[in-house]
């Protein structure tokens, strides 16, 4: 295979066909209507001002602990995973013979073990899977900008967006989710982590627990229902490479613009939202005055600044927001935003390597926190606390932290939630915080008796 990955049988540059249509519905609803009953790989990704819907596979990149694979059309290329795996991803994306490509996909938490010198902790499962789609809609301001690699695909997108939706309304069916699943083990792990922190091994670690969901859920309907009741920084519906998820991300791991501007949004410090204004204001005041929560947040913001300084121009890193309170579904968080500008010779994937995994999903110092997570959590995280990503050919990157999410894979359905552990933590309060976070998703699950669609799109 050549240095550039040719898409056409004759090696010619692949180009999209374009169209625009007016959309009368809310962009999220329109995006969900577009993937209703769809099979195969797909992504719905919502960020401020845009809902993007991608389906089909024109090209894909899969990274695991041993190798990076890229496939486009009939062309395949495989190379060993090196010391800078995300720079390999950058190079392979840049070499795609696809005009104006945009890649959608996910990064699993276990990539952090490769990035932070713990290869022995990495299992055989894929760590990253990106897809450049055959069909794409970007919906904003009641207009959908459509792209497809063939006229039939473009016409199908246009027709489905213009049609009256045929899907019936869905309501959460109240599937019984045991919020206390694994509670005994979780309290014990938190107590051990507190001892480690007080012994000086680390400052903070985020420990999580898995909560099984009895039976499959309709992820499209769950996403539609849950999005109405959540206030996420990003939301997503994902079906790629055997991984299926619907989530309401409270924060971004990283946002990089085509001009090299970069930001990250650490959220740390939590109180529940009751739905009663007076109670929630009291909890907000309590959150802003709690020394433990403020300490946990402040060290996260400090660490985010240090990570950005490693990839940004001198003097460009600063805090735009500090100790605001953001409402995210069933909870409210202390929130800050740290920004900078990429240094010369650095790209968005350098920044991703510096910031991944999110401090608010791992801990401080990051390597020690990742080691503690590997030690105390009994199952791999996979997509949980990783990222759903959108990468553009102009150098832009947007990565949503995967929390407040329902997962489906290999016939299992589950939720997962964690809490930040510091020296002042108590096992019971951290357990209760995980329950509070689970309620951003658990009330909105829509059960199904139909076969779960196949994700597809794997590199063989």
**Domains in the chain: boundaries:** 17-163+179-440
Bridge partners of residue 270, in order along the sequence: 333
Identify the pLDDT of residue 73.
82
- The pLDDT averaged over each successive group of 10 residues in the chain (460 residues) is 42 85 91 85 96 96 97 92 97 94 98 96 96 96 94 93 67 75 97 97 96 93 92 96 95 97 95 93 95 94 96 96 93 96 97 97 96 96 98 98 96 96 96 96 88 47
Q: For residues 258-273, b (16+ Cβ closer than 10 Å) or e, as one string?
A: eebebbbbbbbbbbbb
Identify the pLDDT of residue 74.
85
Cβ count within 10 A of residue 49: 10
With the CA atoms of 20, 23, 28 and 30 taken in that order, what torsion angle do they form, in degrees rounded to the nearest 10? -90
Instruction: Give the DSSP letter string of 406-448.
Output: EEEETTEEEEEEEEEE-TT--HHHHHHHHHHHHTTTGGG--B-
Residues 6+ apart with CB under 8 A from 284: 271, 325, 332
Identify the pLDDT of residue 171.
59
- CATH tag, 17-163+179-440: 3.60.120.10
What is the C-alpha to C-alpha distance for residues 116 and 87, in angstroms, rounded to an integer? 15
Identify the pLDDT of residue 460.
29
Identify the pLDDT of residue 459.
37
Bridge partners of residue 204, in order along the sequence: 364
Tell me the whole-structure pTM to 2 decimals.
Answer: 0.93
Identify the pLDDT of residue 176.
80
- In the residue annotation, 251 being an active-site residue is answered as yes
Identify the pLDDT of residue 269.
92
Catalytic choice (46, 136, 251, 296):
251
- For residue 41, give the DSSP letter: S
Identify the pLDDT of residue 13.
76
> Is the link from the previous residue into 407 a cis peptide, with omega within 30 of 0?
no
Identify the pLDDT of residue 174.
57
Identify the pLDDT of residue 71.
94
pLDDT tens-digit map of 318-360:
999 899 999 999 999 999 999 999 999 999 999 999 999 999 9
What is the C-alpha to C-alpha distance for residues 434 and 419, in angstroms, rounded to an integer? 6
């Amino acid at each position: 295979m050549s240095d550039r990955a040719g898409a056409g049988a004759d090696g010619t540059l692949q180009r999209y066909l374009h169209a625009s249509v007016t959309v009368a519905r809310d962009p999220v609803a329109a995006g969900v209507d577009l993937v209703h009953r769809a099979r195969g790989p797909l992504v719905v990704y919502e960020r401020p001002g845009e809902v993007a819907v991608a389906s089909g596979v024109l090209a894909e990149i899969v990274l695991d602990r041993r190798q990076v694979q890229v496939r486009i059309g009939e062309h395949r290329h495989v190379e060993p995973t090196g010391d800078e795996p995300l720079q390999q991803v950058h190079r392979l994306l840049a070499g795609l013979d696809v005009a104006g490509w945009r890649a959608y996909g996910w990064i699993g938490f276990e990539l952090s073990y490769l990035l932070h010198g713990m290869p022995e902790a990495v299992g055989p499962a894929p760590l990253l899977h990106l897809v450049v789609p055959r069909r794409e809609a970007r919906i904003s301001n009641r207009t959908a900008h459509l792209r497809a690699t063939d006229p039939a695909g473009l016409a199908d997108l246009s027709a489905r967006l213009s049609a009256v939706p045929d899907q019936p309304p869905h309501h959460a069916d109240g599937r019984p989710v045991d919020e206390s699943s694994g509670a005994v083990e979780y309290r014990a792990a938190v107590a051990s982590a507190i001892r480690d922190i007080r012994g000086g091994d680390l400052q903070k670690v985020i420990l999580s627990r898995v909560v099984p969901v009895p039976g499959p859920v309709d992820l499209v309907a769950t996403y539609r229902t849950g999005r109405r009741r959540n206030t996420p920084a990003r939301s997503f519906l994902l079906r790629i490479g055997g991984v299926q998820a619907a989530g309401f991300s409270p924060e971004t791991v990283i946002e990089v613009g085509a001009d090299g501007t970069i930001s990250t949004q650490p959220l740390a410090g939590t109180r529940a939202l009751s739905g009663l204004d007076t109670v929630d204001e009291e909890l907000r005041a309590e959150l802003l005055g709690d020394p433990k929560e403020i300490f946990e947040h402040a060290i996260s913001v400090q660490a985010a600044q240090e990570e950005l300084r490693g990839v940004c121009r001198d003097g460009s890193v600063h805090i735009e927001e500090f100790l605001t309170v953001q409402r995210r579904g069933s909870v409210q968080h202390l929130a800050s935003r740290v920004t900078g500008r990429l240094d010369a010779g650095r790209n968005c994937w350098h920044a991703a390597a510096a910031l991944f995994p999110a401090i608010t999903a791992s801990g401080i110092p990051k390597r020690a926190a990742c080691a503690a997570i590997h030690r105390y959590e009994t199952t791999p995280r996979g997509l949980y606390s990783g990222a759903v990503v959108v990468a553009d050919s102009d150098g832009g990157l947007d990565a949503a932290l995967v929390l407040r999410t329902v997962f489906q894979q290999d016939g299992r359905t589950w939720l997962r939630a964690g809490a930040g552990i510091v020296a002042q933590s108590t096992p019971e309060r951290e357990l209760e915080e995980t329950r509070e976070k689970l309620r951003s998703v658990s009330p909105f699950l829509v059960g199904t008796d139909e076969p779960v669609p196949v994700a597809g799109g794997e590199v063989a």
